[in-house]
Amino acid sequence: MRKLFAVATLMLPFALAGCSHPQPAPYYPPPPPPPAADVAQQGYHDGFEAAQRDIAKGAPPDPGRHTHFRNPPVPPPLIADYRHAFRNGYDQVYRHGPTPPPPGY
C-alpha cells in the first residue's frame, strides 16, 4: 500500500500539469512607416518652430544645431525627406518672418 501511495504522490504533478504542447506565440508586424508627405509636414513644422525659438533667443540661424535635424524622429529611409523639409521650414521663417506655414505642407 505504501508503494502505491508513493507512486501516486510522484505522479500527481504530471497529472496536474496537463498537456505540454507548445502554444504559438502571436506575431505582430511593426507598423508601416508614415508616408513621405506626413514626414515632410512634420519636418517643416519642426523646422518652423525651431527657427522661431532661435529668433526669440537671438541665436544665429543654424538648423544643424537642433536635435531634430541631427537625429530626426523618423525611420531611416525617410531621414533625407525630413531634413529637407526641416530646412525649408527653418529658412521660411528667416526669409519671410514667422508667418504660419502654407496649407498642405
**pLDDT tens digits for range 27-79:** 888 777 778 889 999 999 999 999 999 998 989 989 999 999 999 999 999 99
Instruction: Using alpha carbons, select from 3, 78, 86 the residue that is nearest to residue 48.
Output: 86
Distance CA 11, CA 58 (A): 79
Asked whether the predicted pLDDT for residue 105 surpasses 60, the reply is no
Q: Is 97 left (phi over 0), alpha (psi -120 to 50) or beta?
A: left
pTM here is 0.64
Sign of the CA dihedral with 86 first, then 90, 96, and 97 last: positive
Q: Compute the residue count for the chain.
A: 105
